[in-house]
Amino acid sequence: MMKRTVILTLVLALGVGVGVALAGGEGKAKAVEGTLVDTKCYLAFGAKENDHGSMKGCGTACAKGGNPVGVLTAEGKYYTLGVAAPAVADHVGHTVRATGEIKEGVIVAKKLEMKEGNSWKEIKLGPTM
């Protein structure tokens, strides 16, 4: 029951945040760089990697299940990523750079890249909802 409440709260918060961000009108695109985390495990347990404790690939599994994802910067700032989580699930735990509009702690990404060595590779975001 508690698990359902936490998940429902996260999904509702993401929906409200994305709606507020989209309603805010046009603004300058900003880039945020950090680790792609699954929101549920990060906010509930502080998990910052894809594998948490004995759970291999937990972050990817949560994102593929539809739980929101976010970017955690090196400074400890967290941004919910307004994209379809299953489309980026395989990149949980990697360093990413999201470019888009930021409002109310949500970044509506127009572009998402993953760091590979010294370069950046664009991640396809898939269809928008």
44-71 tens-digit pLDDT? 999 999 987 778 999 999 999 999 999 9
Q: Is the pLDDT of residue 4 over 90?
A: no
At residue 28, the pLDDT reads 77
pLDDT, one tens digit per residue, over 32-46 is: 999 999 999 999 999
Hey, which residues does 122 pair with through a beta bridge? 113
Domains located in the chain, CATH noted: 2-123 (2.40.50)
Q: DSSP code of 124?
A: P
CA separation for the pair 7, 119 (Å, rounded) = 35
Give the global pTM. 0.76
Q: What is the mean pLDDT of residues 82-101?
A: 95
